[in-house]
Amino acid sequence: MTNSLKHIFEVINQVKNEQDLRSQVVPKIGEYFAAKRSGVFFFDRLPLVNSNLQKTLQNGLSIEHNPVVRYLVERHAPVHEALVASPKVWTMICPRPDHWHVMAGPIVSCGQLVGVLGCTREQSMPAFDAQNLADLSAICLHLSVWTATVRSQYQPFKTDRLTSRELQIAELVALGRTNAEIGTELWITENSVKQALKRMFRKLEVSSRAQMVAQLSATKHHLPSVKQSLSDLVLNTDQ
């Protein structure tokens, strides 16, 4: 184990919140792996994106189309693009020049995939290798422990504010149902669904259906769309 890797472990243990994690730890991880871009993402902190970008993410980075996403969801193990796709296939999935080489690892809490650590390199840079995966696995282990420890201090979960009816609506939203379809299934009007969603957004302090589903999936409410939430994040590195 190198000293720089041990230093990353020590810094992870010292930070107190996600803002410090991104500002103090992520740059060190990017430097360690000589990454062009690096980032850490949690499903209950989904960024707001416009509808066109959201559609692009769903088409190009879905579990059905992206083998990196599928590997993370199914195995909870670090992966780079060459492990699951040929160069030709990968350029079709992700044409961005700064994502020519991609490596991503899981952040797990209470047996659930709650976040992703990602690094990317340009075409001119060396590909990620087996040693990189081993080191990323070690870092993700420490990040998972950190996440479980820090989030156990969140009392109460904002999701506990939802009523049983609101949780039913959230489940149907996670399945991709429209407001009209939710109303039909729950025997309430479409307007009642709209008003309920407004209340739920206020309670959870979110601004979109995607953010709501991600937040519920990342806590004790295991909604079915957590796998889809991953597709919105795994390669959208922010550094």
Give the pLDDT band (50/70/90) at residue 153: low
Q: Say what percent of the chain tops pLDDT 70.
A: 77
Q: Output the pLDDT for position 236.
A: 43
Do 38 and 13 have their domain in common?
yes
Torsion over CA of 207, 27, 35 and 214, rounded to 10 degrees?
Answer: -20
32: tokens are 């360690």
Q: Output the pLDDT for position 176.
A: 86
162 conformational bin, left if phi > 0, alpha if psi -120 to 50, beta if neither: beta
Do 206 and 98 have their domain in common?
no
Q: Quick one: which of 20, 25, 53 has its CA closest to 39?
A: 25
Domain membership of residue 239 (yes or no) is: no
Do 32 and 101 have their domain in common?
yes
Do 209 and 195 have their domain in common?
yes
Domain membership of residue 9 (yes or no) is: yes
Asked if residue 232 has pLDDT above 80, the reply is no
CATH number at residue 127: 3.30.450.40
Task: Tell me how far CA of residue 74 lies from CA of 29, 85, 143, 145, 230, in angstroms.
Answer: 24, 16, 19, 20, 12
Structural domain ending residue among the three candidates 154, 176, 209: 154
Domain membership of residue 77 (yes or no) is: yes
Average pLDDT, the chain: 81
Based on the structure, what is the number of domains in the chain?
2
Torsion angles phi and psi, residue 101, rounded to 5:
-115, 130
Do 134 and 179 have their domain in common?
no
Cis geometry, peptide bond prior to residue 47 (ω within 30 degrees of 0)? no
pLDDT tens digits for range 112-144:
888 899 999 999 999 999 999 999 999 999 999
Do 77 and 125 have their domain in common?
yes
Do 192 and 136 have their domain in common?
no
34: tokens are 């000589």
Task: Tell me how far CA of residue 101 lies from CA of 84, 143, 170, 196, in angstroms.
Answer: 12, 22, 36, 43
- Residues contacting residue 72 through CB under 8 Å, at least 6 positions apart: 79, 104, 105, 106, 113, 116, 230, 234
Domain membership of residue 230 (yes or no) is: no
Domain range spanning residue 136?
Answer: 3-154
Domain membership of residue 237 (yes or no) is: no
Domain membership of residue 233 (yes or no) is: no
CATH number at residue 194: 1.10.10.10
Question: What does the pLDDT average to over 59-77?
Answer: 79
Structural domain ending residue among the three candidates 123, 154, 185: 154
* Other beta carbons within 10 Å of 20: 12
Do 11 and 103 have their domain in common?
yes
Domain membership of residue 224 (yes or no) is: no
Do 174 and 134 have their domain in common?
no
Do 28 and 125 have their domain in common?
yes
Do 114 and 208 have their domain in common?
no
Domain membership of residue 166 (yes or no) is: yes
116 DSSP 8-state letter: E
User: What's this model's pTM, rounded to 2 decimal places?
Assistant: 0.64
Do 128 and 193 have their domain in common?
no
